[in-house]
Amino acid sequence: MDFDHIPVLLTETIELLNCKKDGIYVDCTVGGGGHAVEIASNLTANGTLIGIDQDLAAIKAAKESLSEVECEVKLVRDNYKNVDKVLNKFRIDSVDGLLFDLGFSSHQIDTAQRGFSYRYEAPLDMRMDQRASTTAADLVNNLSQSKLTDIIAEYGEEKWASRIAEFIVNRRQEQPFELTTELVETIKAAIPAGARRNGPHPAKRTFQALRIAVNDELEILSKTLDKIVPLLRSEGRIAVITFHSLEDRIVKHKFKELAQDCICPPDFPICACDEESKIEIINKQPITAQQEEIDNNPRARSAKLRVAEKL
């Protein structure tokens, strides 16, 4: 199966990354290489593109997509949380740009056996890196009811979280969960019929929550953003594309924190902290897709792009 994935906000992202022809750029979630190919097309033979992805299928697809670009290409199968270690491995101290296209790809959803989708029957997996040990089945079969409630409520923003967790625990006492369809049926049974008539698929929020938990997505994002500034050269840029409010909130707050000049309490007469802004936020409001792009790629509807520059 081809790694079919349409890059979202492509024009806006490349424009705001402000690529330098001989620069070094890191696509931290290279996927099939959609954004990476466009970045590479802005670089000369003296430029370097590093692509990171924890999904082996993505690395293979990116290798093919980037086979004819002019710049130097380095592809690494790893989690983007290790971007500093990847750069260290190549003896690179700093880079001109970092791109994070968060969430999961069309390929991952459409490959039924990966277990990301509530639309296909498949093993309840959801691991982005198939070398990882914990699957979604492990979580639904072993976590306490209260922990399941917390995960579904926090990561899925699901108002029926406690009822869904209760139904999961009752169902697993009869038989452990193995398939996506078993979980979907349990979620449908937990949500009252009236609440299921409107809005998204009843399992959408719970599947999102489990995917985030299995892959530790929010914790990894937060910790990675804490260490990106030293990796950027002066005037180097970071671009982050998010797909739900939890991710966007983390990026927004981290950027705001890094752009802050003084962290003294408001009642201090003069600054005593000597803190200085580390970045300048390029777009105060997130950039979203135009209707034409949404019509061509419905996944773009929820995408938000935030960009910052190192001072």
Greatest C-alpha distance within the chain: 65
Percent of the chain with pLDDT over 90: 82
Q: Which pLDDT score, from 0 to 100, does residue 6 have? A: 81
Q: Which pLDDT score, from 0 to 100, does residue 108 have? A: 64
Q: Is the pLDDT of residue 112 over 90?
A: no
Question: What does the alpha-carbon distance between residue 215 and residue 55 come to, in Å, rounded to a whole number?
Answer: 12
Task: Please give the mean pLDDT across all residues of the chain.
Answer: 93
Higher pLDDT, 103 or 145: 145
Cβ neighbors of 190 (< 8 A, separation 6 or more) are: 160, 163, 164, 166, 167, 168
Question: What does the alpha-carbon distance between residue 151 and residue 145 come to, in Å, rounded to a whole number?
Answer: 10
Q: How many residues does the chain have?
A: 311
Q: Which pLDDT score, from 0 to 100, does residue 106 have? A: 63
Phi, psi dihedral angles at 100 (to 5 degrees) = -125, 115
Q: Do residues 209 and 152 make contact, with C-beta atoms less than 8 angstroms apart?
A: yes
Q: Do residues 233 and 95 make contact, with C-beta atoms less than 8 angstroms apart?
A: yes
Q: Is the pLDDT of residue 5 over 70?
A: no
Task: Work out the average pLDDT over 173-197.
Answer: 95
**Tens digits of residue pLDDT in 199-229:** 889 999 999 999 999 999 999 999 999 999 9
Question: What does the alpha-carbon distance between residue 100 and residue 9 come to, in Å, rounded to a whole number?
Answer: 12
H or E element at residue 207: helix 204-215
Task: Work out the average pLDDT over 300-306.
Answer: 95
Going from the N-terminus, what domains does the chain have, and what CATH number goes with each? 10-107+218-310 (3.40.50.150), 121-214 (1.10.150.170)
Nearest alpha carbon to residue 101 among 9, 1, 3: 9
Q: Is the pLDDT of residue 110 over 70?
A: no
H or E element at residue 245: helix 245-259
Task: Work out the average pLDDT over 232-255.
Answer: 97
Q: Is the pLDDT of residue 164 over 50?
A: yes
- Can you list the positions of beta strands (E) in 92-231? 95-101
Task: Work out the average pLDDT over 74-102.
Answer: 97
Q: Is the pLDDT of residue 3 over 60?
A: no
Token output for 115: 């277990």
Higher pLDDT, 106 or 207: 207
Helices (H), 9-160: 10-17, 34-40, 56-65, 83-89, 106-110, 136-142, 145-156
Higher pLDDT, 22 or 276: 22
Q: Show the CA angle centred on residue 99, arms to residues 95 and 101, nearest 5°.
A: 160
Cβ neighbors of 112 (< 8 A, separation 6 or more) are: 120, 121, 122
Q: Is the pLDDT of residue 290 over 60?
A: yes
Burial group, residue 265, by CB count within 10 angstroms (0-12, 13-18, 19+): exposed
* Range in 17-21, 36-40, 194-198 the model is least confident about: 194-198
